[in-house]
Amino acid sequence: MSAQNGMAPTIIKKKKVISGGGHHGGAWKVAYADFVTAMMAFFLLMWLLNATTEKQRKGRADYCSRSIPLSRISGGGNGAFQGDSMFTEDIQPQSGTGATDINPMDAQKSQGETGVSDDEESAEDVTFRAVEDSLKGRGGESMVSVEMSRHIITRVTDEGLIIELFETDGVALFSRGGAEPTPLFRDLVRMVARVSTSVTNNIAIGGHIQSHPVVLAQNPVWEVSHARANVARSLLESGGMKASRIHRVTGHADRKLAVKNPMAMRNNRVEIILLRE
């Protein structure tokens, strides 16, 4: 009818486009490659588990761990990490260079508050405890009055037994800003000298002082702290201690505070240390 009216007929052409479908797509190849890779890794893992011993597997597992506590001294064996175990404490030393709890190294002994392991309290530590008891008036007749005990603190460290003689608010051990000892400080030091005659350890003396509230052109903290330590040395010797036992006399100024407040009187102190042999 449209042709009869002089108009061309409308022709609609439909074209079907197939994209990525059927065997023409490539997505399945990626998935298959991942599957093959995973299977290869699995069979490789199974082969390694079957081809190695329990010790070798443990060594490899330890090697792949994120944090590996290595020791610079091995157990002396031929396994992983030059030993049957990566931890030298697990086995006895075989080459003479290893270390165990039974035969500890010097560096191992230095760990801890007192520098020795818990199961090895040496005779020196026992002696230190006895000196502490004497200074604190425990076990037997007390050599320390109540007033004197308020100015003494003792503690055992890697360096030795520290006997700290310190000032409190309102009770000084030296003249204000100087090194003239008070009668209380003289009694404290002479009492320490008497107690220290039971041991033969060398002695180190350190003087400490509080900070000044203002900046001075000539800050005397170094001179005063050393002078106070030297006074303690002189009192120890006059109290019966041999001069040859004095190992060092040091002034620390206000560099090592005992409390946070730098101007507190508690920072005025003298430390008498019975050094470890």
List 208's β-bridge partners, or say none: 269
Q: Which CATH architecture has domain 123-275?
A: 2-Layer Sandwich (3.30)
User: CA-CA distance, 163 to 154, in Å (whole number)?
Assistant: 5
List 153's β-bridge partners, or say none: 164
Name the strand (E) or helix (H) holding 250.
Answer: strand 246-251
Summarised one tens digit per residue, pLDDT across range 56-68 is 877 777 777 655 4
- Using alpha carbons, select from 208, 199, 205, 196 the residue that is nearest to residue 248: 205
- Rounded to two decimals, the pTM is 0.54
Residue owning tokens 């191992």: 108
User: CA-CA distance, 10 to 263, in Å (whole number)?
Assistant: 106
Q: How many CB atoms lie within 10 A of CB 210?
A: 22
Angle at 185 between CA 172 and CA 155, to 5 degrees: 95
Q: Could you state, in order of their start, the residue ranges of all structural domains in the chain?
A: 25-103, 123-275
Angle at 193 between CA 187 and CA 198, to 5 degrees: 140
DSSP strand pairing (203-208 vs 246-251):
parallel
* Residue 81: φ, ψ to 5°: 60, 35
Residues of the chain with pLDDT under 50: 1, 68-75, 86, 88-89, 91-101, 107-119, 140-141
